[in-house]
Amino acid sequence: MRRLLILYGSYRSERAGIRLAEYLVRRFRERGVDAELIDAKCVRLPMLDRMYKEYEPGTAPPAMEELAGKIVGSDAFLFVAGEYNWGVQPGLKNLTDHFLEKWFWRPAALATYSAGRFAGARAGYGWHPTLAELGMVVIPSALAVGPIGSTLDNEGVPRGDGGSALEHNFNRFADELAWWADAALRQRELVAPPY
C-alpha cells in the first residue's frame, strides 16, 4: 500500500476522536505509507445537494474537486468513525456521500471510537453496509477505541490499558489493510474493473 486516506468527520468543538486520527496517520507513516488525514470539518463540503459526478467537468467546488482527485489516487481508505447516538457521524457521512464511483474497487478499514466502553462498535455496524454500497470491501479487522479520553492523551499518545490494547492491535490491523490494498492494486493492473 502506497497511498492511504484517513477520513475523520467530527465537527464538535471538543473533538476527542482527532487524537485517534492523528495517531493513525503517524503510525502508518512510520510504516512508510503516504497517509493523509482528510478532516471533514476542514474540507467544509456543504450538506449534500449534488454529488461530485453531478457537476459538469471542471465546475465542482474546488474543495470537492481536490478531494475527488485524492480519493481516486488512493490505494485504501481508513474511516475514523465516532459513534453518535448508536449511529454514524453526520459530518463523515456527508463527506463520504459526495462521491460514489470514486471509492470503487479499493478496501476500507474502520477505526471506531466513543466516550464509553462500547468503543464506537455500533457506529461500525452502520458503516459496513454504507461502505459496501459505495463499492469498497471492508476488511474484517477493526480498531475499536473507548473510552477515547483515557486511551489517548491530547497529543494522540496511547496511555493506560486501552492505549496498550490499541498498540497491540495496530500492527495486525495495518498488515491486513496493506494486504487488501496491495491485492486490489494488483488486480486492477491485471484486469479493468467490470464497471
**What CATH number does residue 167 fall under?**
3.40.50.360
Task: Give dist(CA 79, CA 185) in Å, integer.
Answer: 19
In a domain, 113, yes or no: yes
In a domain, 15, yes or no: yes
Q: Model's pTM, two decimal places?
A: 0.96
Angle at CA of residue 49, ends 65 and 54, nearest 5°: 50
* Secondary structure letter of residue 56 according to DSSP: P
In a domain, 175, yes or no: yes
Number of independent structural domains in the chain: 1
The residue whose grid cell reads 474537486 is 65
User: Residue 97 is part of which domain span?
Assistant: 3-190
In a domain, 94, yes or no: yes
| pLDDT of 86 | 87
Q: What is the pLDDT of residues 86-131, one digit of tens each?
A: 889 999 999 999 999 999 999 999 999 999 888 999 999 999 999 9
In a domain, 171, yes or no: yes
The 10 Å CB-count burial string (b at 16+, else e) for 101-134 is bbbebbbbbbbbbbbeebbbbbbbebbeebbeeb
Q: Which helix (H) or strand (E) holds 101?
A: none
| pLDDT of 3 | 98
Task: Please report, rounded to a whole number, the percentage of residues in the chain having pLDDT higher than 70.
Answer: 100
Give me the helices (H) in the chain, please. 17-30, 40-43, 62-72, 90-97, 121-133, 148-151, 160-190
* Secondary structure letter of residue 116 according to DSSP: S
